[in-house]
Chains A and B, each alone.
Chain A
């Protein structure tokens, strides 16, 4: 996150020990790269005057760090940057505690949605700072074991934070048509506990998976034909096709209008779907995937994934 310490914190005469410790905790989050230090070039002197009394052995290096952080902020940060969390004298102790712990992402199922899907997306799309946060475990993924329990899990995660709730959640929409509400009601229940809730635009995580992965999910003999047929689906069909089970149970009543135009041959090729291990294969192949592979599925779908990652990045 982008964090600014109100210069009043540095100007306060005789600060309390908990406040000094809180400043030190925040500085630590800056020097390890967990958060970006936002400091105005004209406030560096206040900080430089503050540190010798409280961190004498590190004062000189901290002052240098402040000067360079201010240059970074003034000159080498784009105007499209994320909002800044301002820490003032009143919120100092609470926010230092909140910012020193990991952000939380609540998912329905940890291995599938968390490690396999989200982990792969972070590796493939980045950005680099989010990848770093994921490696350093500054981002904790917790699961609920089902969409029904997600609000409870999110509420418990939110309680870890005193003021700044750094909790996000994402879930499958389970939409059978692109304009169906799907899990919108569940997302709304979650919203009360989270800083951000992302409802996937397409039906499930599996719908976003690139061809190179799907090829591994079906028999070699039928892979080419299956993928060719899948790629003939229009975006509104691909978005809601049951990737795992195909049309084994026929075309659901709610989807009749969606797949009406599909000929019998295509229905047969897509009959079995791609099985239940799509996300396992996705994770296995993560080192070979690029953002372009996801773009090739559908540009809007890839944009949806980027929006999910950007929302998490803002909290981390």
Chain B
């Protein structure tokens, strides 16, 4: 049960259709402002159209305002341009179920509507709907021309998000179509999102009112989760976090300490446990990576009942390059041990090199099919996505010029400058 592929057309900075295949670890690279974030956040938007009972094609209430202000913002060139967005989603359970839809923005009504939709099961179309324009909607349900099993019918359709829930006038003929809807909804993963900006550590935390299983978009729940773990569960999560961080935090262990009713997250010296440093007094790097480790520990202790796609933007931010490689291993371990898959936006060459190295080594369960890499670039004023394939030797089939070779280019320029100075000096010597 995984999100196997998604494609978007006329979405954000992407004018033409861009399709990406998702694997256990999908890495998205690109220069600043190329469109990486828009791409990795797309599953959140799609979840707003799949994991919902709203009649709107995209349930905006399901999406954080930090990620989306209005549907019109998703349209390439804004609402003044082409007012449709093309959406494709393929989920794999026993077979592949696929949705292809066009969502139209209606600026006057401040609403959106599914303009057309086709659902496929194992590559075979199970029905196609085309919204009939100019015909008044019956009650609150739009009318569609339905191509079902070789017949062309007409029916009002009740949608739940992007997916047809009921063909009101043709319930029997629409059963196959609605069946695919159900399979897509049931198999679409739970989407988690961890953004690039992490919650600043506080000196004190209250115990949370309930046991959380997600650290939140900024990791804001990580500290409370650790406090709850120490208070109620004997520090099981904390042990796992410390086990995973061994080697990256030498001489220290993370802990949660009761401070008369409020809790502090501290680093305790392994040499002298009386030496404790509040997390608020440590460097940014630890606070930055703690939510990532806490989430991994939660997934081990309380695995999700449904498959999860975890979107992480720049996990490496504020971390030393050596820790980037460690993160890559952490994610490889996670896909081996849990049903969580990852969609990761990164600028880290060390992160990608470690993934490639593990594939070449065949270690940590890494194979070429474990990792998908996509490079987002700008061409002719629009964003495009290019897949980069990794073979069993860890080699890439294509690499964009100048990316991760900036140090080489700078050193070449340094040589040029030094060579130029030698020539000038030689000239001065002669005179």
Q: Which residues of A contact B (CB under 8 A)?
A: 27-28, 30-33, 57-58, 61-62, 64-65, 68-69, 71-72, 75-80, 127-129, 290-292
Contacts and interface: CB of A to CB of B under 8 A. Distances in A.
Interface string B393-408: 0011111011111011
11 contacts: A31-B412, A31-B419, A33-B409, A65-B408, A65-B411, A76-B349, A76-B403, A78-B396, A79-B398, A80-B397, A290-B381
Given A79-B396, A80-B397, A28 B419 contact: yes
Given A61-B418, A79-B397, 18 more contacts: A31-B412, A31-B416, A31-B419, A33-B409, A57-B422, A58-B419, A61-B411, A62-B415, A68-B411, A76-B349, A76-B399, A76-B403, A76-B404, A78-B397, A79-B396, A80-B397, A128-B402, A292-B380
A77 B418 contact: no
B415 A75 contact: no
Nearest to A63: B411
Interface of B: 349, 353, 356, 379-381, 388, 391, 395-399, 401-405, 407-409, 411-416, 418-419, 422
B336 to A, nearest CB: 24
Most chain A CB neighbours (cut-off 10 Å) among B407, B408, B409, B413: B408
A71 B408 contact: yes
Most chain B CB neighbours (cut-off 10 Å) among A58, A64, A75: A75
Contact of B415 (A31, A77, A79, A129): A31
A285 B214 CA distance: 55
Contacts of A72: 405, 408
A64 B411 contact: yes
A68 B407 contact: yes
Contacts of A28: 419
B312 to A, nearest CB: 23
A65 B415 CA distance: 8
Contacts, number: 71
A29 B388 CA distance: 29
Nearest to A24: B419
Contact of A75 (B353, B391, B398, B413): B353
A161 B412 CA distance: 26
A75 B388 CA distance: 13
A291 B380 contact: yes
By Cβ-Cβ distance, the 5 closest A-B pairs, closest first, are: A290-B380, A68-B408, A78-B398, A31-B415, A78-B399
Contacts of A57: 418, 422
Nearest to A289: B380
A110 to B, nearest CB: 28
B14 to A, nearest CB: 14
Nearest to B403: A76
A69 B408 contact: yes
Contacts of B399: 76-78
Most chain B CB neighbours (cut-off 10 Å) among A71, A76, A292: A76
Nearest to B401: A128
Contacts of B408: 65, 68-69, 71-72
A37 to B, nearest CB: 9
Contact of A30 (B402, B403, B412, B418): B412
A71 B399 CA distance: 13
Most chain A CB neighbours (cut-off 10 Å) among B404, B411, B416, B422: B411
Contacts of A65: 408, 411-412, 414-415
Nearest to B381: A290
Contacts of B419: 28, 31, 58
Contacts of B356: 75
Nearest to A30: B412
Contacts of B401: 127-129
Contacts of B407: 68
A75 B411 contact: no
B398 A80 contact: yes
Contact of A68 (B379, B398, B402, B405): B405
Contacts of A71: 405, 408
Most chain A CB neighbours (cut-off 10 Å) among B401, B413, B414: B401
Contact of A58 (B396, B405, B415): B415
A61 B414 contact: yes
Nearest to A33: B412
A79 B411 contact: no
Contacts of B380: 290-292
Contacts of B418: 57-58, 61
B379 A291 contact: yes
A27 B416 CA distance: 10
